[in-house]
Amino acid sequence: MSIRTRLTLWYTGILAAILLLFSLALYSLLSQVLYEQVDDTIRSRAGEISSYIQTQTDPLRLLITRQVQIPPVDVFSTSNTFVQILDRQGNIVARSANLGDNFLPIRRESFDQNLAGSAVLYTLTTAQARLRIYSAPLIILDPLEGETIIGVVQVGMSLHDVDATLLTARYAIGLGVAFTLLLAAGVGAFMSHAALRPIDQITQTALQISRAEDLSRRLPAVRTQDELAHLTDTFNEMLGRLEELFQQQQRLVADVSHELRTPLTTLRGNLDLLRRGMERLSPEDIQDILQTMEGEITRMSRLVADLLLLSQADAGVQIKQEIVELDAVLLDVYRQALLMADGVRVELGHEDRALVLGDRDRLHQLLLNLVDNAIKYTPAGGTVRLSLYRREDWVQVSVADTGVGIAKEDLPHIFERFYRSDRARSRQTGGTGLGLSIAKWIAEAHGGHLTVESELGVGSTFTLWLKPYQPRAGAAENRAA
């Protein structure tokens, strides 16, 4: 069932329940008021007759003749109010003319109750109509016997009018409720349709995007500042991110193919050379060719190893969390750098002691990448200086060189995968173009970062910033003990 239908049904259902309750309350109030009006009328009519008899009966005549003054009952009747007076034996002594040949039915038990002094209200259903009857004792003040019940007065009223009014009210309320519900359902369906239309549009566009496999498309902006605008923005943002990732992926595949093609071509060329000219080549030539091939294979292995590492980084692989003596790592890297120096002077500058939390091998790799670059891009005779400062909040390790430097326009890109500045021509220097992106990832995976300052022809300084390891107070005390 669609949200639209569900919304409309809920809305109409709740409204129906409210209207039903309201109508029931209204109807019962109305019928109560109408019936009470009838009761009040017949009660007051009976009261009037009682007081007529009391005021009109002459006590002297009553003493002598034992007769009371029967009222002209027609004065007290109207077209639908009937009056009847009975004596103590139950004989009818007076009837209103509108009763015709009929008389008001007498109920034995109410008659007895009347003679005992209490008034009774009841409803009678006859063949012609429903009657509401008030039956009350007729009391006079007898000079001899005091208050005496001399008979019963009955006032009846047809409920025909009240019943007709209530029937009309039932029809009116029923029709009103039905009409309101129909109207509400219609308006509700229309409104939910209008409110949900943008979602249909979003779905359509999303479908088109997925069918056309075109990630560059975007959903049209929604002008309102509501949930749908938020949804559209989020969806567009997600598409943007997907497009970016997809392009990165494509670029990476293109770069990797490109990077692998050159060494493979070199390998194939050299293999051809070996096969065709085996007899003609001198042992030195063969040695050269084999060395070149070995170099290319080493480069390819490094490239594949670097790519593997970066794919782990992309997959969010967690690094180890061990306590690392960073100064010891730097010393290792320094020793290795001395072997790679190739005419460049490698120096160990300021070196504080510093502990950090992380993966020793990865940190070693990071610093080696920086030092490797520094040596690669520094001509013979230049200097590469390694230093470590333990500051309050940060541990800083810097690798400064007096090499070729990096152009301003290249600086924002050097941490990107496969980015190489033309000036550096690092392909010839044997780099894979992944060294700095790996270094950046390692730094960030340790909760730190890498910065660079460089000037063309003057040199570059790469700085690694890491959070120092703070042993907890308890642990420090344990060690001291």
460: Cβ contacts below 8 Å, ≥ 6 apart: 374, 377, 400, 401, 403, 405, 406, 452, 453, 454
How far is residue 63's CA from residue 344's CA, in Å, rounded to a whole number? 153
Stretch that binds ligand ADP, among 45-53, 125-133, 144-152, 418-426 (CB under 6 A): 418-426
The sign of the CA dihedral 111, 114, 116, 118 is positive
Q: Which is nearer to ligand ADP, 188 or 431 (CB)?
A: 431
**84 lines the binding site for ligand ADP (CB under 6 A):** no
**263 lines the binding site for ligand ADP (CB under 6 A):** no
**460 lines the binding site for ligand ADP (CB under 6 A):** yes
Put residue 270 in one of left, alpha, beta given phi > 0 → left and psi -120 to 50 → alpha: alpha
**110 lines the binding site for ligand ADP (CB under 6 A):** no
Q: Which is nearer to ligand ADP, 173 or 414 (CB)?
A: 414
DSSP symbols for 11-77? HHHHHHHHHHHHHHHHHHHHHHHHHHHHHHHHHHHHHHHHHHHHHHS-HHHHHHH-------GGGG-
DSSP state of 412: G
Return the residues of window 377-416 that contact ligand ADP according to CB under 6 A: 377, 401, 403-406, 414
* Residue 31 CA from chain centroid, whole number: 48
How far apart are CB 309 and ligand ADP at their closest, in Å? 13
Do 23 and 173 meet the contact criterion of CB atoms below 8 Å apart?
yes
How far apart are CB 377 and ligand ADP at their closest, in Å? 3
How far is residue 252's CA from residue 302's CA, in Å, rounded to a whole number? 16
**461 lines the binding site for ligand ADP (CB under 6 A):** no
How far apart are CB 445 and ligand ADP at their closest, in Å? 17
**432 lines the binding site for ligand ADP (CB under 6 A):** yes
The sign of the CA dihedral 299, 305, 308, 313 is negative
Which residue of 383, 419, 445, 453 would you call a contact of ligand ADP, by CB under 6 A? 419
How far apart are CB 306 and ligand ADP at their closest, in Å? 9
Q: Which is nearer to ligand ADP, 160 or 449 (CB)?
A: 449
Stretch that binds ligand ADP, among 112-120, 199-207, 373-381, 471-479 (CB under 6 A): 373-381
- Positions that interact with ligand ADP (CB under 6 A): 373-374, 377, 401, 403-406, 414, 419-421, 424, 426, 431-437, 460
